[in-house]
Chain A
Amino acid sequence: MAGRTMIERLRDPSEKSLGVLLLAPAFLLLLLIVVYPIATLIFNSFFDMRLSGGSGGFKFVGVENYLLVLKDPDFWNATGNTVLITLVTVPGALVVGLGLALLANLPFKRQWPVRLALLLPWALPLAFAGLIFAWFFHTEYGVVNDVVRRVWPGSEPTMWLLRPNWAFAAICLTIVWKTSSFMALILLAGLQMIPKSLYEAAEVDGASRWQQFWQITIPMLMPSIIVALIFRTITALQTFDIPYTMTKGGPGNATETLAMLIHKTTIDYLDVGYGSTLAVFMFLLSLVVTGVYLKRIGRNA
């Protein structure tokens, strides 16, 4: 065995080296597109990298950026907005998505129009959805105020996107509309895996539809619900496109999310070090939330 050449070994690899060989491309790819950017991000977060002016752009400052972030009211405002958007839109999308999935699961004669209606909002780019809804809520040209004017003639039009609370509500509504179809698709797949025999048995036992829903559908659907919630929560924490296109974070910074603050700090202010530190905080937030979910799944299993 010891006398085998390199080529022979490559031609007839052992189980172990074959495994290494086959995994290497995926491993290298992950290293390149996941580990490298994150490592760079964390590295940059310890530097003063204000590209425009002053310090010359590259100076080690230790944890100074981290301390500044913790004292930064903009950071806390953006984090608060991000968490609030997550708390409102994730359950919102779950409830609406479940309704849509149940609807699509009904025995329609033709399935495709329903499925298509489910797919369309999901296939629409986020920025489009934001721009479309921004038009809906425009004070003068928007369809929302047009309806209001027809129902209550002579009323002062509400400036939806210029009032902090209304703007926040409008953004949440848009996100729920946009993301509930994704929820519905995952839940629909889960619904179709529930055996019909369970419902038939329940029927025989005299269970009502309501009881069937809570005793059969929901427990059987739980794995799908958890998967959908994890995906949705992580994307909710990264919310950027819809508030950016609808309000640009305004009025003031009432609807600015963490991802928008990072973008602004890095691209507009050219403060790469501080932007990286903010991004590390967002990374940690995602990590914690995902960890909590994964732990719950482990307990359920």
Chain B
Amino acid sequence: MKRLKLLPALALIAGLAVSIGTTSAYAQTTLRVFSGGANQRPDLMRKLFDQYQAANPGVKIEIETGGATSELQRQYLSTVLNAKDSAIDIYMIDIVNPAQYFGAGWLEPLNAYVGSPADAMKPYLPVYLQSNVVDGKVAAMPGFADAMFMYYRKDLLEKYKIAEPKTWDELAAASKKIQAGEGNPNLQGLSIQGAPIEGAVCTFLLPYWSQGKEFNDASGKLTLDKAAAVKGLNQWLSMVDAGVIKRNVAEVKTPDTVNEFKAGQVIFAINWGFAWDRFRMDKDSTVQGKVGVMPLPAMAGGKSATCVGGWQWAVSAFSKNKAEAAKLVKFMATPATSKFLAVEGSLLPTIQSVYVDADVVKSVPRFKDAANVVIAGRAARCPGLRAGQRRGPDDDERRARAHQEARRGRG
């Protein structure tokens, strides 16, 4: 506990020292931005900040980076924001966090700067109205998107003359046929992430959503249909029992799926957008030129749905430069920025029109098809606790836990 209490104090002192030092020396606005971890491409963000600085000579932007995963970043941000630290003006946060942080009073409502929620979110994919607007307030603006895709081995499906499966049962049958035909005991039918990480929330929600069920309503309230959730989990478990998904799936993290698919040990793999380049371009990938992407299968009678992730820009409620910070956030959410990130870093756009932009299509042709996947996508969000409720069963950690518990003693 002592360590936890000291950290924010230290961060505060360091932050104060920085802000005093810079404001007196330059007499201009200095914005400090928390820009995620290495996967969120702080190098590209720096380039954008440099562009902004050039156009706005009175503003200087400092960048701060954090942990490699969403969980690590959240631990740091929860500590800093809980201490009401004013050193950081802008935060890049995971799509699950705006509601929780806004509920805690840590984020500045942006309505005064970007207009009403409906107007502000109009240019963006529909998922953002759901994830970034809390209680009628704009809590954050979209930075770039990410989504779960279904990657598959084109060559194997062609070899066995199997069409892209439309339902999970078809996928299981296709996997079994190929596994039997190849006779390789290490060949997995489907690789999903079951370890207790942020991404496992999506693993849990995919078969749930693909029954046409919703997890949150428009106001962010939990609308979990228990029967459907159990049915969804049982879909995964039956595939574990059938040998389509490997037994120790509760140990599988995002990079495990990527590495095993690259090694040719996986027929179907669910993973985030970045995996595409890893499969196609990494030197140690044995599946170059053999990879396809298709819409995620659905439960029989349901419809395909994917999990949208990605990163948002939010202004700290404790910032001393809120107006300037909001301006920068607006800039980071423009179509031009989205296009820059798509072309330079293959980061998924947040705006539908950018997906079909000529330059974007030229440098990342797959985005044309990806648009449909992302538009149909949903986002999980931590709705924050409602009045009268002690602890949230809707917290994603609990979801991950329910997920694991279902697996306990099985397989």
Q: Which residues from chain A sit less than 8 Å from chain B, CB to CB?
A: 33, 37, 40-41, 50-55, 57, 68, 138-140, 157, 159, 161-164, 248, 250-254, 262, 264-272, 274, 279
Q: Which one, A41, A139, A265, contacts B248 given CB within 8 A?
A: A139
Is the pair B397, A264 in contact by a Cβ cutoff of 8 Å? yes
Least Cβ–Cβ distance between B80 and chain A, in angstroms? 12
Establish whether residues A53 and B384, one from each chain, have CB atoms under 8 Å apart when the complex forms.
yes
Q: Say yes or no: is B324 at the interface (Cβ < 8 Å to chain A).
A: no
* Residue B14 at the chain A interface, CB threshold 8 Å: no
- Is residue B66 contacting chain A, with contact meaning CB distance below 8 A? no
Is B283 part of the contact surface with A, judged by Cβ < 8 Å?
no
In contact, B386 and A251 (Cβ under 8 angstroms): no
Minimal beta-carbon separation of A84 from chain B (angstroms):
18
| Of B112-120, B160-168, B363-371, B403-411, the one touching chain A | B403-411
Known: A262-B1, A268-B397. 14 other contacts (CB 8 A): A33-B6, A37-B1, A50-B385, A54-B385, A140-B248, A140-B251, A163-B409, A164-B408, A251-B407, A252-B401, A265-B391, A267-B74, A269-B391, A271-B390
Q: A162 and B251: CB pair below 8 A?
A: yes
Contact of A52 with B250 at beta-carbon distance under 8 Å, contacts A251-B404, A268-B397 already known: no
A-contact bits for B42-59, CB 8 A (1 contact / 0 none): 000000000000000000
A157 to B185, CA, bound (A): 14
* A35 → chain B closest CB, angstroms: 12
The 4 lowest CB-CB distance pairs between A and B, nearest first, are A53-B384, A52-B384, A54-B387, A53-B103
Say yes or no: is B39 at the interface (Cβ < 8 Å to chain A). Answer: no
Residue B143 is within 8 A (CB to CB) of chain A in the complex: no
- Verify A248–B251 contact, CB threshold 8 A: no
- Chain A residues in 8 Å Cβ range of B23: none
- Residues in A neighbouring B408, C-beta threshold 8 A: 162, 164, 251-252, 254
The smallest beta-carbon distance between B171 and chain A, in angstroms, is: 23
Mind listing 9 A-B residue pairs with CB under 8 Å?
Answer: A40-B5, A52-B384, A53-B104, A54-B103, A138-B251, A139-B247, A253-B401, A271-B385, A279-B1
Write the chain B residue with the least CB distance to A279.
Answer: B1
Point out the residues of chain A lying under 8 angstroms from B382, CB to CB. 52
Number of B residues near A (Cβ < 8 Å) is 41
Please tell me if the beta carbons of B100 and A250 are within 8 angstroms of each other in the complex.
no
Q: How distant is the Cα of A68 from the Cα of B247 in the complex, in angstroms?
A: 38
User: Is the pair A267, B251 in contact by a Cβ cutoff of 8 Å?
Assistant: no
Which chain A positions have C-beta within 8 A of B405? 251-252
A33 and B103 form a contact (CB under 8 A): no
B1 proximity list for chain A (CB < 8 A): 37, 41, 262, 279
Chain B positions 368 through 397: 1 when the CB is less than 8 Å from some CB of chain A, otherwise 0: 000000000000001111111111100101
Task: Tell me the bound Cα distance from A51 to B81 in angstroms.
Answer: 11
- State A251–B200 Cα separation when bound (angstroms): 14
Closest residue of A by beta carbon distance from B75: A267
Q: Which of A55, A139, A140, A161 contacts B387 (CB 8 A)?
A: A55
Contacts of A53 in B (CB 8 A): 100, 103-104, 383-387
Take A51-B105, A140-B248, A250-B404 as given contacts and tell me if A271 and B391 are in contact as well, using a CB distance cutoff of 8 Å: yes
In the complex, whether B207 has a CB less than 8 A from a CB of chain A is: no
- Measured CB to CB, the closest approach of chain A to B306, in angstroms, equals 25
Task: Identify which of A157, A250, A265, A267 contacts B401 (C-beta below 8 A).
Answer: A250
Residues of chain A within 8 A (CB-CB) of B385 are 50, 52-54, 269, 271
Complex CA distance for A138 and B250, rounded to whole angstroms? 11
Is B223 among interface residues, defined by CB-CB distance under 8 A? no
Q: Verify if B82 is at the interface (C-beta below 8 Å from A).
A: yes
A residues near B391, Cβ cutoff 8 Å:
265, 269, 271, 274
Chain A residues positioned under 8 Å from B387 (CB to CB): 53-55
Cα A57 to Cα B101 in complex, Å, equals 12
CB nearest neighbor in B for A162: B250
Which residues of B lie under 8 Å from residue A54 when comparing CB positions?
Answer: 103, 384-389
- The residues of A that contact B395 with a CB separation of less than 8 Å are 268-269
Q: Which residues of A contact B226 (CB under 8 A)?
A: none
Residues of A contacting B6 in the complex (Cβ-Cβ under 8 angstroms): 33
B286 interface residue (CB < 8 Å to A): no
Q: Given contacts A37-B5, A162-B407, A251-B408, are A51 and B82 in contact (CB under 8 A)?
A: yes
- Evaluate contact between A51 and B386: CB separation under 8 angstroms: no
Tell me the bound Cα distance from A51 to B100 in angstroms: 9
Contact for A33 among B2, B4, B401, B404, CB less than 8 A = B2
Q: How far is the CA of A41 from the CA of B31 in the complex (A)?
A: 34
A254 and B407 alpha carbons, distance in the complex (Å): 13
Complex-state Cα separation, A248 to B250, whole angstroms: 12
- Judge if B79 is at the interface, Cβ distance under 8 Å: yes
Q: Which residues of A contact B389 (CB under 8 A)?
A: 54
Contacts known (A50-B385, A269-B385, A270-B100); A159 close to B82, Cβ less than 8 A? no
